[in-house]
Structure 1
């Protein structure tokens, strides 16, 4: 999945990774003759302290994988609604398997929470959504995938550091250049982590002296907890809670991220919790209406920001956070009766009209992203419509 942790989710870019190609890298930074490129990578690895023999072994049989380039060029877009994606991804089977995994690895999860403050449902939800608890980890040769993407001149500053980190993993005997496989963008293991993150946050959860996220669930659980903590997880605090919004007049324009409201503010407006309120009424909380005022409603707390660090897709993150609440004992959401959304062509038409009015909606791509939601909310408010950020045919017609 696309994020600082994973790069493969269709819908998002790769902005979470910020490492740059060293200014003095030997050989071409990207492109050109593959042999010359690999010689430059080997020289850079040796300069970082990797032995020449290891660098040579790691890259000896490396080749360009055109299937990787095809996947990279053909990344799809996230066009499903929240109800569509969440109902498919948070299935009854995933709930059952996730519950069993939390019981099976109860001791490991307890240690993860004690050391890193991250509860079992949060880790388990990511584990399930990323790889179906390790069942679907990808079959691309990891070294070839990273060589391909680092050699390709589209985003070498993102992938060359990952290639160098993979070579370092070879030196630790944590990656076999011939046999290690994963996702097309270089993610490895049951929670789909990139080599740099494995090196920095990897934890030997089973005590065998190695961090093997492909085969060791204990390693995957502890490493995921360590990584999530590094993103700023606040131990003991909630991440998402389903709520009910009162019917009739309601300030929907206060919904969305970053509105500066607290739990106390929302309860004063008549918002109620369906699965029990948090102990502190002063917690900052944002009202999320992924399909407008007619659909499910959630309060997102500061820990929800960690989900956005993991993946920048709004639909994925709300679904992952909701999945974690279900694993933690929450009831299934009230799906409500949301208004019909816009199709691809109509959404593009709406974006064009919003852009013409000076709103920054990003690309005219038919995707309901953060910019389009904010612009929709602003125009709904201007036109006297409930400003819930959910584009409808009525809004399009009014514009």
Structure 2
């Protein structure tokens, strides 16, 4: 699957005022909040903006080596801006939207994945209460079960969107969190590629979500959401449970767990498509 040109980000939040992993080097009260004018609509001011961000990040306590390794090659990508401006499919009616995404191939492949990952999915459901069909539906919709993780360099995507004025503060926060992932040792910058808006891994976590909800399928805190589907599925379940998923309850619109699906993607048509796909997958499961 190509990097998605349609995205409602699920984890926008205020820019952090401190960098948690590096408390010993923080300057108390330092903030990376972007002033309203600290953005641009054309590539002309990108280099100056990036230099300013790098200075702010170092003042706030991020290791200079991390900043250098992640941002030294970052470039403005107009293709990312084009993707950001055209997300009209989320306004399609449900039948049209779902028909494009819940294909016969995806249903067949999803059922194969339920069998292939039956044991870890059972453990994940026991731990988090999220059924396998829901997790596999998300996996299939996001990356075609890992076949299309995206090819956009994550730091190009995040710096471009943090510089752009439309959602500068939101993406500046995600850029900080991406640097924290590198500092924490989760990934190296050259390994970080994904969707146009900065999502990473088998089920497409934003950096802020990765930091908070990534978890190993074995119960450990070390997780690889890019090349380990079991970790990605466990982390997706951890996210949903953290957003209020209620074990044993329904997931359709009007049912208790639909709100958790909206936390995954705030577009109702997308959440309804997850629910529909999960139903198709669950239909063949032994009771």
TM > 0.5 fold call: yes
1:312 counterpart residue number: 266
Q: Show the 5 A alignment for 1:124-273.
A: 124-205=136-217, 210-240=222-252
CA distance in structure 2 between the partners assigned to 1:35 and 1:165 by the alignment: 21
Q: Structure 2: which 5+ residue stretches go unaligned?
A: 18-29
| 2:58 is aligned with 1:58 | no
Q: Is the 8 A contact 1:41 1:164 kept in 2?
A: no
What secondary structure does 1:78 align onto?
helix
Pair 184,25 (structure 1): closer, same or farther in 2 beyond 3 Å? same
Which of 30, 33, 52 lines up with 2:39 in the alignment?
30
CA distance in structure 1 between the partners assigned to 2:238 and 2:104 by the alignment: 28
CA RMSD of aligned residues (A): 2.8
What secondary structure does 2:109 align onto?
helix
Deviation at 1:15, TM superposition (A): 7.8
| 2:101 is aligned with 1:89 | yes
Q: Deviations over 1:370-395 (max 9, x none)?
A: xxxxxxxxxxxxxxxxxxxxxxxxxx
Pair 328,194 (structure 1): closer, same or farther in 2 beyond 3 Å? same
Q: Is the 8 A contact 1:21 1:156 kept in 2?
A: no
TM-score of the aligned structures, taking structure 2 as reference length: 0.82
Q: Deviations over 1:96-133 (max 9, x none)?
A: 21112122122221221122111111111111111111
Looking at CA atoms only, which structure, 1 or 2, has the larger radius of gyration?
Answer: 1
Deviation at 1:173, TM superposition (A): 3.3
CA distance in structure 1 between the partners assigned to 2:98 and 2:255 by the alignment: 19
CA distance in structure 2 between the partners assigned to 1:329 and 1:26 by the alignment: 48
Which protein is richer in helix relative to its size? 2
Aligned length: 266
Pair 312,59 (structure 1): closer, same or farther in 2 beyond 3 Å? same
CA distance in structure 2 between the partners assigned to 1:312 and 1:178 by the alignment: 30
TM-score of the aligned structures, taking structure 1 as reference length: 0.60
Deviation at 1:43, TM superposition (A): 3.6
Q: Is the 8 A contact 2:124 2:237 kept in 1?
A: yes
Pair 185,174 (structure 1): closer, same or farther in 2 beyond 3 Å? same
Deviation at 1:327, TM superposition (A): 1.4
Q: Is the 8 A contact 2:143 2:202 kept in 1?
A: yes
